[in-house]
A and B are shown apart, each in its own frame.
Chain A
Amino acid sequence: MKRFNWSRFLAILVKEFRQIARDKPSVIMAVGMPVIMLLLFGYAVNTDVDHMPTVVWDQSMSQDSREVISSLRNSTYLDPDFYVRGYDEIRRYLDGSSARVAVIIPPDYGKQVQGSGNTTVQVLVDGSDPTAARAAMSAVQTVGFNTGWEVQADRLAQQGGATPVLPVQVETRVWYNPDMKSLVFNIPALIGLIIQNVIAMLTAFSLVREKERGTLEQLVVTPVRPTELMLGKLVPFVIIAFVSLMLILSVGILWFGVPPKGSLLLLILLSMLFVTTVLAIGLLISTISRTQLQAMQMTILLILPSILLSGFIFPRETMPLFLKGLGGIVPLTYFLVIVRGIFLKGIGLEYLWKETLVLATFSLVLFFLAAKRFRKNLD
Chain B
Amino acid sequence: MEKTELAIDCRGLVKRFGNYTAVEGVTFQLPTGAIMGFVGPNGAGKTTTIRLLCGVLMPTEGHATVLGFDVKTQPEEIKQHIGYMSQKFSLYEDLTVRENIDFYAGIYNLTGTFAAERKQQVIERIGLNERLPQLVQSLSGGWKQRVALACALLHEPKLLVLDEPTAGVDPVSRRVFWQIIHKLAQEGMTILVSTHYMDEADTCDYLGFVFYGRLIAFGTPAEMKAKENKANLDDLFIYYVEREAVDDPRNKGNR
Contact = CB atoms under 8 A, between A and B. Distances in A.
Interface residues of A, number: 30
Interface in B44-64: 51, 54-58
B48 to A, nearest CB: 10
A121 B226 CA distance: 112
A222 B103 contact: no
Contacts of A19: 92, 94-95
B76 interface: yes
Interface stretch (B81-89, B172-180, B205-213, B245-253): B81-89
B91 A8 contact: no
A51 B186 CA distance: 88
Nearest to A15: B103
Given A15-B99, A377-B58, A214 B106 contact: no
Contacts of B88: 214, 217
Nearest to B106: A11
B138 interface: no
Given A23-B94, A377-B58, A11 B77 contact: no
A8 B57 contact: no
A215 B95 CA distance: 12
Nearest to B148: A218
A222 B107 contact: yes
Contacts of B93: 213
A1 B77 contact: yes
A218 B107 CA distance: 11
Interface in A323-379: 376-379
Which of A220, A221, A222 has the most chain B CB atoms closer than 10 A to its own CB? A221
A372 B6 CA distance: 34
Contacts of A221: 54-56, 79, 82, 84, 86
Contacts of A18: 95, 99
Nearest to A21: B94
A157 interface: no
A10 interface: yes
B90 A217 contact: yes
A223 B79 CA distance: 5
A216 B82 CA distance: 17
Contacts of A15: 92, 95, 99, 103
A5 interface: yes
Contacts of B58: 377, 379
A15 B95 CA distance: 8
B202 interface: no
A376 B56 contact: yes
Nearest to A378: B56
B102 interface: yes
A22 interface: yes
B57 A14 contact: no
A15 B92 CA distance: 9
- The 5 lowest CB-CB distance pairs between A and B, nearest first, are A11-B106, A218-B90, A221-B84, A214-B90, A214-B88
Interface of B: 51, 54-58, 75-77, 79-80, 82, 84, 86, 88-95, 99, 102-111
Given A14-B102, A377-B57, 9 more contacts: A7-B110, A18-B99, A214-B88, A218-B84, A218-B91, A221-B56, A221-B79, A376-B56, A378-B57
20 contacts: A2-B76, A8-B106, A8-B107, A8-B109, A11-B105, A12-B103, A12-B106, A12-B107, A14-B106, A22-B94, A23-B94, A214-B86, A218-B91, A221-B54, A222-B104, A222-B108, A223-B80, A223-B108, A377-B56, A379-B57
